[in-house]
A and B are shown apart, each in its own frame.
Chain A
Amino acid sequence: MLELRLVQGGLLKKVLESIKDLVNDANFDCSATGFSLQAMDSSQVAVVALLLRPEGFERYWCDRNISMGMNLNNMAKMLKCAGNDDIITLKAEDGSDTVTFMFESPTQDKIADFEMKLMDINSERLGFPEADYHAIVRMPSSEFARICKDLSSIGNTVVISVTKEGVRFSTRGDIGTANVVCRQNTAVDKPEEATIIEMNEPVSLTFGLRYMNSLTKATPLSNTVTLSLSSGLPAVVEYRIAEMGYIRFYLAPKIEE
């Protein structure tokens, strides 16, 4: 059986909000490594990888590896019924085709349980190749989301280029062009406001803004975002979830025909 008690229940709500538009159905895997998910978006352009480590849970009990297939829209509907401050517990009995979400208010005066049907999902485990990235950019997640949103009102794709100058986000559309350059900036009051650029060699990749905008829905999970870029490889857009793990999006670039 499985029982996972997460005091910061709001975090699971945010996780679902950040992936439910990208992925319809996915297997949540529960093992000694943690509560994880790996899924490809329906248009096969992006992969989501989530890990919530056992240490982040007040109670983390699963006596064997369990994979639970869930429709993420339905799961999001259920989690929307939990308050942002609620404690969320997931429970599943061995061999059961349902999972129960229990929501407790912080003062313990309201307890709700929602039972959701599980589904069978055949999904291949993907092998993520080890890569040395040409450039790694860490920046405030809100700034990255703002840039993607702004550029998507001008064009459909974004070219992300890292040079000695900084990281450049460019787009082009019927009404004109737009360029936003962020330079390395570590002279900030708080570390999460810094922009840090590690460049081994210059890199320039093109991505669909629709996907970029979709994955910036993870912004509430972390103050910072890390972009790892290499020519001809998917970008890795990572939001670290404080003390618990991460949500990573692998986004395929557009390639020359």
Chain B
Amino acid sequence: LKSQARIARFFQAS
């Protein structure tokens, strides 16, 4: 089962 990842998890807010 695949679910859609949210993009923010890949980026550190700076």
> Residues on A close to B: CB < 8 A?
40, 44-47, 124-129, 157, 206, 208, 233-234, 250-257
Contacts and interface: CB of A to CB of B under 8 A. Distances in A.
A255 to B, nearest CB: 5
A187 B8 CA distance: 40
Closest 6 CB pairs of A and B: A254-B2, A127-B14, A127-B12, A126-B11, A252-B5, A124-B13
Contacts of B12: 126-127, 129
Contacts, number: 59
Nearest to A159: B2
For the residues of A in contact with B, the DSSP-based class is strand
Interface residues of B, number: 14
A46 B11 CA distance: 11
Contact of B14 (A125, A157, A256, A257): A125
B8 A44 contact: yes
A124 B9 CA distance: 14
Contacts of A124: 13-14
A46 B3 contact: no
A125 B2 CA distance: 28
For the residues of B in contact with A, the DSSP-based class is mixed
Contacts of B4: 45, 208, 252, 254-255
A110 B6 CA distance: 46
B14 A126 contact: yes
B14 A252 contact: no
A5 B13 CA distance: 32
Nearest to A123: B13
Given A255-B4, A257-B3, 13 more contacts: A44-B8, A45-B4, A45-B6, A47-B11, A124-B14, A125-B14, A126-B11, A126-B14, A127-B13, A128-B11, A234-B10, A250-B10, A254-B3
A129 B11 contact: yes
A46 B8 CA distance: 9
7 contacts: A44-B7, A45-B5, A46-B7, A124-B14, A126-B11, A126-B13, A253-B5
